[in-house]
Amino acid sequence: MIDAGPVIVWFRRDLRLADNPALATAAASGRPVIPIYILDETPGLRRPGGASRWWLDKSLRALAASLEALGSRLILRRGPAAAVLEEMIAQTGASAVFWNRLYDGGAVERDMALKKVLAAETRSFNAALLNEPWEVKTGTGKDYSVFTPYWRAARGRLDKVDVLPARRRLTSPEQWPDSDGLSDWKLHPTNPDWSEGFSVWTPGEAGARRRLDTFLSQSIKGYGEGRDRPDIDQTSRLSPHLHFGEIGPRQVWVATQTLAATGEAALRDTEKFLSELGWREFNHHVLFHHPQIATENLKGGFGRIPWRKDIKAFRAWTEGRTGYPLVDAGMRELWATGFMHNRVRMVAASFLVKHLLIDWREGERWFWDTLVDADLANNAANWQWVAGCGADASPWFRVFNPQTQAEKFDPDGAYVRRWVPEFGTSAYPAPIVDHAMARKRALAALGNL
């Protein structure tokens, strides 16, 4: 007998219609499709921070509108995923649940448990990565801990990357189950609503596609050099869209390779850009094999660092009042827009860890709450990279000098002037720590390990 019960498509961080294998497979079955998003309260999952909740609110609205244009709907439910899905299966008579995979420890455990308990067929797919974390292995069958050989192996598997088209129509169930109202989830901040500066973003699949197209038509030329300059608009700003799966890495890959094939963009620029996607892949590979990276140093020994507890200095860092203009500009950009340029993230993070000798996990948590692209794999791995305890990390004795970094990467001071307009006046604070002293202190603390 052919099973004709509805298929539940459980959206998680794949908030798009195109290149979405769970949705495409459900639609191709010809059975009714019930799209659902669950505000998941399963224990062991890291809850999204404030900026991510803002983004999620907008992205879900965009996804719901796109589904409605296909004659479908997005059902919203809140609670532990197992209980919500069991209830949905009972209410709708669904005989299958499809989803796209996630790779952090809490999600992997949850999904494995669901496969055992749900009274329906379950199928999972890859929408988030170019390679699955377990597919890229060393010659001896181990996972990688160094980026360059990882990327050589991973890239070698990407000769033929395919993208699935978006569906034009979805079959509806005879009766739609109830849905929560999105506004009741209160994802958008109120009292105070601090999100005014976030209007620079357009969450959702259409916004993601426009970002990619604009980047490839306007900014990829010179990306290899210019990507380190916070004062010019040279990077894609795709990171929040990729995090929420409004666009997938296969789509970015194919669009970039198509452009490269026309010869309109230089290979040094397209390859550099693709290798940044490679870092995203590598960090997911590391996270999958080391699920504890958000809380534990990957390299032993770092547990003995005499981290300082300094609430006043930490607060000055979060508020962009350290007296180091590049650090302060970055921290204010972050607070205002939910984003910070990659070069400045490195300098600001290094300042917290090395100049202030404050545990990288405190910085990681602040970024988690304030970044619109906050991502467990990328945030934790990059903080560990800066601190020196991560996979393939920056050497511990490398202490960025915020002043020379500013001279090199913001040579006209335009970025600093934009975010720290009082710089150079008596209103700007003096440095909260002396660079030479802080450098010596960091080297002594880290060198003693």
Binding residues for ligand FAD, rule: CB under 6 A, are: 227, 235-239, 242-243, 276-277, 279-280, 283, 342, 345-346, 349, 367, 371, 373-375, 378-379, 382-383, 386
H/E segment holding residue 9: strand 7-11
Widest pairwise Cα distance in the chain = 80
In the residue annotation, 126 being an active-site residue is answered as no
Nearest approach, Cβ of residue 343 and ligand FAD (Å)? 8
Tokens of 323: 């007296």
User: What are the distances in angstroms from CA 33 to CA 2, 18, 168, 172, 180?
Assistant: 16, 16, 13, 6, 18
297 assigned to active site: no
Q: Is 383 a catalytic residue?
A: yes
> Distance (Å, rounded) from C-alpha 14 to C-alpha 66?
14
With respect to ligand FAD, which residue has the nearer C-beta, 101 or 341? 341
Contact 442, 399 (CB under 8 A): yes
**Minimum distance from CB of 143 to ligand FAD (Å)?**
17
Please report how close the Cβ of residue 301 comes to ligand FAD at its closest, in angstroms: 21
Pairing mode, if any, of strands 33-40 and 75-79?
parallel
Give me the least distance between CB of 341 and ligand FAD, in Å please.
6
**DSSP, residue by residue, 218-248:** IISTTHHHHTT-TTS--S---HHHHHTTSS-
Q: Minimal distance in Å, beta carbon 436 to ligand FAD?
A: 24
**Catalytic position from the list 383, 385, 396, 419:** 383
Spatial contact of 313 and 356, defined as CB atoms under 8 Å apart: yes
* DSSP-assigned letter for residue 46: P
- Active-site position among 185, 271, 342, 401: 342
Minimum CB–partner distance for residue 219 and ligand FAD (Å): 8
Active site residue 279: yes
CB 426 within 8 A of CB 340: no
For residues 394 and 129, give the distance between their C-alpha atoms in angstroms, rounded to a whole number: 25
Alpha helices in 265-411 (DSSP H): 267-289, 311-319, 325-337, 342-350, 360-370, 376-387, 402-409
The H or E element containing residue 67 is: helix 50-69
Rounded least distance, CB 319 to ligand FAD, Å:
18
Q: Which residue number, 37 or 282, has a Cβ lying nearer to ligand FAD?
A: 282
Give yes or no: 360 in active site.
Answer: yes
Nearer to ligand FAD by C-beta: 98 or 367?
Answer: 367
Task: Give the angle 402-242-55 at the CA atoms, nearest 5°.
Answer: 85
Contact 338, 54 (CB under 8 A): yes
Specify the residue, 32 or 230, whose C-beta has the smaller distance to ligand FAD: 230
Give the pairing of strands 33-40 and 7-11. parallel
Quick count: other Cβ atoms within 10 Å of Cβ 26?
Answer: 26
Of residues 201, 279, 366, 419, which has the active-site annotation? 279
Q: Least CB distance from residue 314 to ligand FAD, whole Å?
A: 15
Specify whether 276 is catalytic. yes
Catalytic residue, candidates 132, 271, 276, 296: 276
**Sole residue written with tokens 């996972």:** 143
Q: What is the CA radius of gyration of the chain?
A: 23
Where helices occur in 351-409 by DSSP H, the ranges are 360-370, 376-387, 402-409
User: Which residues are the active-site residues?
Assistant: 276, 279, 307, 342, 360, 383
